[in-house]
Amino acid sequence: MKRKQPEPWAGKTARPETQHSDSEAEQQLEVSTLFSEHNEALVRYLSVRLSNSQEAAEVAQEAYIRLLSLDKPDTVSYLRAFLYKTADNIAIDRLRRRQRTEAIFDSDESEGESRSEVQNPERQLSAKQSIAQLRSYVAELPPKCQKAFVMYKFQECEYAEIAEAMGLSENMIRKYVLRALAHLKERMAQ
């Protein structure tokens, strides 16, 4: 049984009709039509690209939300193409983020094996030691500071995204990231 995908704007509080401009209503109608006509195909496309149907649904929803948040939707004459390009860009960002995270936090052994043909043993040992040292320096950070730093540097999340996930202000996240960078700089200088 196929699950119906939630509409991307579901759960948001609707403003009274009197506050909607004609262009906003038109834009919502166009996006709603896009959703009903192309969502299944878009999610299938993204599922293949991301190898994860749940993540594909999330990316599709994020793409619809971006369409709805356009300041001047009239400037995009081909909404379907824009939707696919937006979803594709979000998918690429997630794949890159996933690859970086996996590359950094994979075990040292598997990392050495994958690069053994390229690097000589001395460089391998040096790289393993550097990664282990960096991990230990990051582990010295307080938990919230460590989490904010890892999300910002390795998962490439924005300050606002991290703040929301951690339930803190963006300013606090900036302070944590700066504190982590200062700590790492100091430890690496020793």
pLDDT in tens, 132-145: 888 888 899 999 99
List the structure tokens of 135. Answer: 């991990």
Long-range contacts of 105-108 (CB under 8 A, 24+ apart): 105/154, 108/132
Confidence of residue 169 (pLDDT cuts 50, 70, 90): very high
DSSP string, 98-135: HHHHHHHHS-HHHHHHHHTTTS-HHHHHHHHHHHHHHH
Note whether 157 and 176 are within 8 A (CB): no
Burial class (CB in 10 A: 0-12, 13-18, 19+), 40: middle
Mean pLDDT of the chain: 78
pLDDT, one tens digit per residue, over 69-90 is 776 666 556 778 888 888 888 8
